[in-house]
Structure 1
Amino acid sequence: MDKNEAHAGLVKRPSDDPATCATCHEGIAKTYKLSLHYTTGGMKGVSGRFSEAETKIFDAQVFEQSCRVCHASCGDCHVKSPIVSGVNLGLMEGHKFVRKDESKTCAPCHGGRVYPEFTGEYGGVPDVHYQKGMLCTDCHTATQLHGDGKVYASRRDVEAKPTCLQCHNTKEGSEKAVSAHRDHVGWVSCSSCHSAAPYRNCSSCHVGEGATSSPGLFLGKNPRNPKEVATLRLVPAVRDTFMKVGISQANFDSMPNYWDTYPHNIKKRTDRTRECAVCHEEKTYFLKEEMLIKGGSEANKKLIFHE
């Protein structure tokens, strides 16, 4: 029989519609339709720079044509690895459903930054949690991944997201550790001290041309909470990023190019935990004006920390 004839009428991606899975997994299917994995709403973070007219262009010509490919169906995580940048790992275990396999689900989509930082493939320093045998779902629960029934604009807004303090008590440990945590709690993020190596920062992003990247570890004011010092990651939208589709970013300077991030390359001891002078005297990793991305937002200057 001809292959095309044999496959006539088959639905290529049945779980693109969660209703397919709802027959057995009604609760999960209902919340998943609102989750960031399904809506990819977090990809619209840059839209704060656009005018109303530019937002419409972005939604139609950029988001739907590019960002939307990060949309994940149930099958992308439980049957067949998602195709990312043309790389297709195929079925995980024949046509069987697999409850979890981070190396074939999380890794392809989050393999540009998070997963290779976690394993040490990028930066050369594996995360201590990975070295202890922990995997993605040990911190990122099913509720977070499947959604909790609420619509979020960003992963940072998700109520079920993991925090370090869920497992780590800052009042336990050596006298030095307890003292350091007491002095920094509330105004320095955990990763500011415990991110062990430079992490990937993207740059030179333009529609249709992709982006380049380089390693870096940046400390500065958290744009979401200016009272906190945080690790920052470069988000590479510069003034001409979307010019090919007619978006000049009318409100470009309203948002910075650096955003708070939690690199997945955590260690108990780093140069900052061993020696106070690295931050308090040498300012080794702190963002400086001469380091800022060329053609970037004026708002970047507000993230420079002055002790």
Structure 2
Amino acid sequence: MSLRRPIYALSIFIILVIFVLALSQTFPFTLKSFKQGGQRREVPLLTTGKPEGCLFCHEEKVEEKAHAREMLGCSSCHLGNPLTVDYRAAHKGVVRNPSDLRIVHRTCGQANCHPQDLNKVKNNLMTTNHGIIARLLKVFGEEAILKEHPNIRVGDLYHLKTSSLAIDYFKKLCGSCHLFLEKGRLPDFLAEKGGGCSACHLVGKIADLKTRKLHPRLSAKIPLDRCVLCHNRSGRIGFTYQGLYEDEQSGEGEVTFIDGRKLRRIEPDVHYKAGLHCIDCHTRDEVMGNGTFYRNIEEALQVDCEACHVRKGLTKAGTRLANIVEREGKVFQKGKLDEKWHVVKAPSKDCKDRFHKRLSCTACHAKYVPQCYGCHVRHDPRERHLDKILGKETKGLWEEHESYRRIDEPTLAVKKEKIVVVTPG
């Protein structure tokens, strides 16, 4: 027994030595400094006092205060191991885009950051695209898929095995405009799209960041051009609002859009002239979601013309717009980007006339609407087309065609007893 005790104690000692040596490799600067190239260097500390080894190498300038490098470092968002200067160990588990919705629960959605937004964003229409997918399934006569997957969303298409033409059409022609898309996965201008939170909050182009030692800047002041990256087809409202018109088959025009389409200049919307961006009207709950799984955009919209011009800052949902105030009998709106104050005009007495009761505001005030006639699509199962969901070319080419396109006086229709503007095509 007396011989076993020293051997047992020696074994414990050896195990402890090995453990300490291994620990020193993983956490080499427990004493606030370490040796590199024969010189002792101080370990970078965050404002919280936490050591952040990433900052030894990563000196990119961060042009914002909310995510300042001296406060958050790198690992708070990008994960990895900040307690080592070994390259491989430090970059194990690192994520390039912390706002990617596949891992956002570990980054932006963690307890001390934005956990309240996680469920909201994952259920909003820009993430699910449910309305578009459901409509296509109905148009193609494939309601059976909708019955089997009543809450179908973009995320499902990454693993859903189906020969559906509607789904294939979506993946080829619509699949780049959703938050679930991995940023940078698709080529050319498509690389700017998607990426979860960064799809909207990332200011500037990815291509520009590669040529400058600059960290991407995140902002709550989202400019119009971020929205128009996606909202530039269908009704072309992103173009018309700022006074741009896509001519027939992207013909002649003095403005070239990011995807190469030629645009002609026309008179912009009065709100654009006043300097208002999309987020000046559309609310946080509309854009980011409120946690509810909406089936189409009509269900999700909370703001209409009356919210500002009649109800003085009250949405259809009954929530108060923070940037609308009433002072001395006048209503003012504060721009969210430039913080300028704008006078909100009240409707004229003609708008309240009983003969105009069924008229929507746009029925009279919309000057013109882009209109497409003879629109149809052609499918060639022999050719190949880039699948924006899978990120590779697959069989089945889709092409859109039209007879002619015009910018003209609005076409009116009746919807739920209300006369509204519609966009043919």
TM over 0.5: yes
Which residue in 2 is equivalent to 1:144?
Answer: 286
Which residue in 2 is equivalent to 1:177?
Answer: 348
Contact map agreement 2:203 2:222 (CA 8 A) in 1: no
Match of 2:239 among 116, 129, 132: 116
Contact map agreement 1:81 1:90 (CA 8 A) in 2: yes
Larger Rg: 2
Letter paired with 1:107: V
- 2:412 counterpart SS class: strand
- More moved, 26-35 vs 123-132: 123-132
- 1:133 counterpart SS class: coil
Which residue in 2 is equivalent to 1:52?
Answer: 143
Distance 2:138 2:208 in 1: 37
- More moved, 177-186 vs 117-126: 177-186
Distance 2:307 2:174 in 1: 32
Listed as ranges, the matches of 1:238-249 within 5 Å are: none
Letter paired with 1:16: D
Contact map agreement 2:413 2:419 (CA 8 A) in 1: yes
Distance 2:423 2:268 in 1: 18
Aligned CA-pair RMSD: 3.6
- 1:156 counterpart SS class: helix
Match of 1:132 among 274, 290, 305: 274
Alpha-carbon distance change, 27 to 9 in structure 1, aligned in 2, over 3 angstroms: closer
Structure 1: unaligned runs, 5 residues or longer: 83-87, 236-307
Asked if 1:194 is matched to 2:365, the reply is: yes
Which residue in 2 is equivalent to 1:291?
Answer: none
| TM-score (normalised: structure 1) | 0.60
Distance apart, 1:180 and its partner CA: 4.2
Structure 2: unaligned runs, 5 residues or longer: 1-86, 147-161, 180-195, 246-264, 312-329, 331-344, 380-397
Deviations 1:111-145 (A, max 9, x none): 34112211112261211111112111110011111
Asked if 1:28 is matched to 2:117, the reply is: yes
Letter paired with 1:104: D
How many residues end up aligned between the 2 structures? 221
Looking at secondary structure, tell me which structure has more strand per residue.
2
Asked if 1:15 is matched to 2:99, the reply is: yes
- 2:348 counterpart SS class: helix
Asked if 1:102 is matched to 2:292, the reply is: no
- More moved, 30-39 vs 182-191: 182-191
Contact map agreement 1:204 1:211 (CA 8 A) in 2: yes
- More moved, 202-211 vs 116-125: 202-211
Which residue in 2 is equivalent to 1:165?
Answer: 306
Match of 1:69 among 173, 176, 184: 176
Distance 2:96 2:136 in 1: 32
Contact map agreement 1:203 1:234 (CA 8 A) in 2: no
Distance 1:10 1:202 in 2: 50
Letter paired with 1:233: T
Distance 2:177 2:372 in 1: 19
Distance 1:80 1:203 in 2: 38
Distance apart, 1:13 and its partner CA: 4.3
- More moved, 73-82 vs 29-38: 73-82
Percent same amino acid at aligned positions? 24
Distance apart, 1:184 and its partner CA: 4.4
Letter paired with 1:196: K
Contact map agreement 2:305 2:361 (CA 8 A) in 1: yes
Distance 1:218 1:47 in 2: 28
Contact map agreement 1:32 1:149 (CA 8 A) in 2: yes
Deviations 1:253-276 (A, max 9, x none): xxxxxxxxxxxxxxxxxxxxxxxx
- 1:70 counterpart SS class: coil
Distance 2:142 2:363 in 1: 34
Match of 2:421 among 231, 239, 249: 231
- 1:15 counterpart SS class: coil
Distance 1:211 1:142 in 2: 36
- More moved, 8-17 vs 187-196: 8-17
Match of 1:43 among 103, 107, 132: 132
Distance 2:224 2:232 in 1: 9
Letter paired with 2:199: D
Which residue in 1 is equivalent to 2:319?
Answer: none
Contact map agreement 1:30 1:149 (CA 8 A) in 2: yes
| TM-score (normalised: structure 2) | 0.45
Which residue in 2 is equivalent to 1:283?
Answer: none
Distance 2:355 2:215 in 1: 50
Distance 2:225 2:108 in 1: 21
Alpha-carbon distance change, 203 to 95 in structure 1, aligned in 2, over 3 angstroms: farther
Deviations 1:136-172 (A, max 9, x none): 11100111111011111111111x52111111139x9
Higher relative contact order (CA 8 A, sep 6+): 1
Distance 1:180 1:90 in 2: 48
Contact map agreement 2:203 2:217 (CA 8 A) in 1: no
Letter paired with 2:143: E
Contact map agreement 1:201 1:216 (CA 8 A) in 2: no
Contact map agreement 1:79 1:98 (CA 8 A) in 2: yes
- 2:218 counterpart SS class: coil
